[in-house]
Each structure stands twice: as C-alpha cells, then as structure tokens.
C-alpha cells in the first residue's frame, strides 16, 4: 500500500470510529433535554429516571467521544499536513469556534453530572440544554470545514499555490454549508432517537413487571416520535443536499447515480452497481426522468454525466452503492417508524393489543442501521470528492504526509479502537446490569 492510501485508510478508520460516538453525543443529549422537559411539565418521574440513565450512558460514551475527537482533530495535521496548511489560512475560523462549543459542552456536562444535586431544577435544565447545544454546534462547525472541502470558497490561489484574497466568512458560509450542516444535525438526532428506541424495544421483548413495561413504552413512544419527525426532515434535507451536488459537484452526483452521458430527462438508477468495463449501472432499477426532476425540479433539467469530465478526476464507481445504501436505510427507517406509530395508534392504543415480536425486533435493529446510514453517508461524501481533498484545488496525494511510518501506527490505533469498542460495550452492560431500572424506580418511588 502506498502512503496516500494508507493515510486515507488510517484517517477513515479514525473518523469512522469517532463518528459513532460523536453522532450519539449529539443525538442522546436531545433525548435527555426532551425527557427533562416532559418531567418538569408533567411531573412524571419516569422521565427523570430516563434522563438520569441516559446521562449515565452518555457520560461513558463521552469518555470515548472526547479522546477520539481529539485524535481526529490532531491527526488532521499529522496525516494531511499539506491540507491543514491551506485550512489554517482559509477555514480555521469554524475550527476555532468549535473549540468554544466544545468548552461549553464540557463545562455544562460536568455541572450536570457532578453538581446536579446542588442545583435548582431550572438550572439542571439549562445545563443539559447547553450540553446539547454545544454538541450540535460542534457538529455543525466541523461540517463547515468538510463542506468547504466539497465546495471551496473565500480565497484565490495562484498557479504556484500561493493563497491570497482570503475571506474567512465566505469560506465558512460556502455554498453547501447550510444544507449539509442541517442534514448532519438532523440525521444525528434521528440516530440518537433510533438508538434509544432500539434499547427500549429490546427491553420490551422480555417479560417485565407492569411498571417497568410502562416505563419502556414511554421511552419507546417518545423516541419513535422524534425518530419519525427527524427521518422525515432528513429525507427532505437529503434531497436538498442532492440539488446542491447537482449545482456545485456534478461529478459526484453523476458518480452517485452512475450517469455517464449528459442528458435531459435523466433516469434515476436505484440499486445495482456501476460496471467499470461497460460504464453503466447493472442490475439497477431505472425510474425514467426522476433524476432530472430530483436534481433540478423539472423533468427537462440537464444532468451532467461523467463523460463531461476528465477521466482522472472521476470519483470511484463504488460511491453509487454507498449512496444507495445511505438513501435506502433512511427511507426504510422512515417507513418503519411510520408503521410502528400507526400500529400504536390503531392497535395498541385503541384495541389494547401488544407489539408483535417481529416489529420489536425490527426496532432493535433500527439504531445500528441508522448508524450505518451515517457511516455510509460520510464515506460517500469523502470518497465522492476523490481524487480531490479540496475540490479542484488540492489532490489527496498532495495533501498527504510523506512520512513512511504509517503502517505500525495504523495497527496501533486499530488495536486501540478495538479495545475501546469492546470495553465500552462491557462497561455499559455491566453498569446497567448492576443498576437495573427497578433499582432506580425503588429509589425514586420508594
């Protein structure tokens, strides 16, 4: 493997690992805020128990999210020194503001966890609100840098690479920033909600006391409503992001759809794979005119195909599959949340039935699936930009380190991520086994 591929694999692994914890770090605080609000409004102590237990889980996840985020942040300079040199000049602003969001989150997280018993209720709510705010702000600010890589703006560059006429705020608010940042935040909320729904559904699979069942049903219902709303909004925002691709990164959209010839009335290819030999999508379902309509709002919108661009700047063909997986998972989960809520309304609430096992099992899978959707989305976003690190400004090869020591370090970090993953699961299960809901309920209700 050459250094560039190794650097990509290394950084991709770090990011893929961090994203799990970062996404839950954005999603779960929102659920805690909602539970705290319901508790304060309704006075139902079950929600206070939920908030407390989720905070415990969140604190453990944060123990990995913070160091893994530190790793990613610093590895940017270690693995992509050429990239960070331009970043420092043009787009360091969001990075720096992100630090303040990070501080805000860390401050109020400590206050919420270690000083809750000394605070009046309204201040607990304020603290957990700031935790959630800091988390989502961090995600949005980091996305600003990523979107700038996709649609760079706010500077000029001479042929020799000298950068001049830098406008930091234009770089920040680059063309794809708002759309992508919104998508990132909403899908994180969606994933956090499905993660909670997964656990609640899993708990409902076993026989439990009426009190506990009611507790888990409350958690399930609350998370499903959030998950449904967020899935719906994320579908809309994903659609908007695709339109931005059409406008600003046409190669990426063409590769995502396996479209080679520029055309009006372009078809949407669902499924299948892009065959590199025949240069077409095989075994996919084609919906005529749909791509033109999705990209530009009219059937006669011209969509650029890959032949429009020099071959050496084509993204890899597998991004078609990644794109399909991301969209497919999103659609599936939206449908699932919708079905479960309908089932709830018509059969559970009105006819007093219980949820069938298969539906609960599908819900158990929803959290991990949603997380996979996030992973596919990020890999799509970053591989779809290849061969560029900064679109049409800097190639990935130019950005990468020339250091030859990557192999051993990569192995070391793979080991680290494996150990941390296993430990996180062990610690969470051990903790919640020793502190079951019944114990918390006894404490609260006496």
Partner 1 sequence: MSEEVIAILIMWTFIFVYSIFGSIDFGSGFWAMVYNNHKTMAGKIANRFLSPTWELTNTFLVLLVVAFVGFFPKGAYTLGTVMLVPVSLILFFLAIRSAFMVFSYSVQGYRRAMFTISGISGVLIPSLLIAVLPISQGGFIAGDLSNQTLLLGKLFSSPTLYLYVLFGLTSELYLSSLFLADYSRVSNNEEAYKLYRGNAILLGPLTLIAALFTLMFIPPESAWLIDNLREQKIWFILSLAAFLIAYAALWWPKQNRPGIGRPRFTLLFTVSQYGLASYGYGMAHLPYIVYPDLTIYQAFTAKSTFYSLMVMYIVGLAILTPGFYIFWRLFLKDKRYLQQD
Q: Where does this chain touch partner 1 (CB under 8 A) — which range of 31-39, 93-101, 207-215, 239-247?
A: 93-101
Counting residues that bind partner 1 (by CB under 8 A) gives: 73
Q: Residue 274: beta bridge partners?
A: 281
Main-chain phi, psi angles of 403, to 5 degrees: -65, 140
Does residue 87 bind partner 1 (CB under 8 A)? Answer: yes
Contacting residue, 168, 175, 272, 316, with partner 1 by CB under 8 A: 168
Does residue 78 bind partner 1 (CB under 8 A)? Answer: yes
Sketch the per residue contact string, 348 through 387, with partner 1: x for CB under 8 A, - otherwise.
----------------------------------------
- CB nearer partner 1, residue 10 or residue 344: 10
Contacting residue, 41, 120, 169, 446, with partner 1 by CB under 8 A: 169
Answer whether 144's CB lies under 8 Å from 152's CB: no
- CB nearer partner 1, residue 370 or residue 401: 401
Does residue 173 bind partner 1 (CB under 8 A)? Answer: no
Tell me the C-alpha distance between 134 and 102, whole Å: 6
Answer whether 163's CB lies under 8 Å from 156's CB: yes
Would you put residue 283 in left (φ > 0), alpha (ψ -120 to 50) or beta?
left
Contacting residue, 60, 205, 372, 414, with partner 1 by CB under 8 A: 60
Contacting residue, 97, 178, 372, 397, with partner 1 by CB under 8 A: 97
Contacting residue, 1, 74, 339, 444, with partner 1 by CB under 8 A: 74
Contacting residue, 9, 13, 52, 67, with partner 1 by CB under 8 A: 67
Residue ranges of alpha helices (H) inside 119-176 are 121-150, 168-172
Provide CB contacts within 8 A for 14, sequence distance 6+.
68, 71, 72, 75, 413, 417
Contacting residue, 11, 108, 260, 380, with partner 1 by CB under 8 A: 108
- CB nearer partner 1, residue 11 or residue 194: 11
Taking the CA atoms of 330, 331, 335 and 338 in sequence, report the sign of the dihedral they define.
Answer: positive
Provide the angle, in degrees to the nearest 10, between the axes of the packed helices 210-248 and 319-343.
140
Report the site for partner 1 in 380-419 (rule: CB under 8 A): 401-403, 405-406, 409, 412-413, 416
Answer whether 325's CB lies under 8 Å from 374's CB: no
């Amino acid at each position: 493997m050459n250094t560039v591929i190794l650097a990509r694999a290394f950084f991709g692994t770090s990011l893929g690992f961090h994203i799990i914890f970062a996404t839950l770090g954005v999603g779960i605080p929102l659920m805690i805020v909602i539970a705290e609000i319901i508790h304060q409004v309704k006075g139902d102590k079950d929600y206070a128990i939920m908030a407390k237990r989720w905070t415990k889980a969140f604190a453990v996840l944060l123990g990995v999210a913070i160091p893994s985020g530190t790793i990613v942040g610093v590895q940017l300079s270690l693995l992509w020194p050429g990239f960070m040199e331009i970043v420092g000049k043009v787009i360091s602003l969001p990075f720096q503001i992100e630090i303040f969001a990070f501080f805000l989150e860390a401050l109020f997280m400590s206050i919420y966890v270690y000083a809750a018993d000394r605070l009046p209720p309204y201040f607990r709510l304020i603290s957990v609100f700031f935790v959630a705010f800091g988390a989502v702000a961090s995600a949005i600010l980091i996305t600003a840098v990523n979107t700038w890589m996709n649609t760079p703006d706010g500077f000029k560059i001479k042929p020799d690479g000298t950068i001049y006429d830098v406008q930091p705020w234009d770089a920040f608010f680059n063309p794809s920033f708002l759309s992508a940042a919104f998508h990132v935040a909403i899908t994180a909320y969606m994933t956090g909600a499905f993660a909670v729904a997964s656990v609640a559904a899993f708990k409902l699979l076993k026989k439990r006391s009426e009190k506990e069942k009611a507790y888990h049903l409350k958690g399930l219902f609350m998370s499903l409503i959030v998950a449904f709303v967020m899935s719906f909004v994320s579908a809309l925002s994903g659609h908007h992001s695709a339109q931005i691709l059409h406008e600003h990164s046409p190669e990426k959209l063409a590769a995502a759809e396996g479209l080679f010839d520029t055309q009006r009335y372009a078809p949407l290819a669902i499924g299948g794979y892009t065959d590199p030999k025949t240069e077409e999508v095989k075994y996919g379902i084609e919906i005529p005119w749909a791509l033109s309509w999705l990209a530009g709002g009219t059937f006669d919108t011209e969509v650029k195909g890959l032949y429009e661009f020099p071959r050496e700047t084509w993204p890899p063909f597998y991004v078609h599959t990644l794109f399909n997986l991301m969209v497919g998972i999103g659609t599936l989960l939206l449908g699932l949340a919708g079905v479960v809520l309908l089932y709830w309304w018509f059969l559970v609430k009105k006819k007093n039935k219980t949820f069938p096992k298969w539906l609960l099992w599908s819900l158990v899978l929803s959290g991990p699936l949603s997380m996979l959707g996030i992973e596919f989305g990020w890999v799509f976003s970053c591989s779809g930009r290849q061969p560029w690190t900064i679109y049409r400004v800097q190639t990935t090869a130019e950005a990468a380190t020339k250091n030859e020591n990557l192999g051993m370090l990569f192995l070391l970090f793979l080991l680290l991520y494996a150990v941390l993953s296993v430990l996180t699961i062990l610690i969470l299960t051990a903790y919640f086994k020793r502190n079951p809901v019944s114990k918390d309920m006894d404490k609260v209700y006496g």
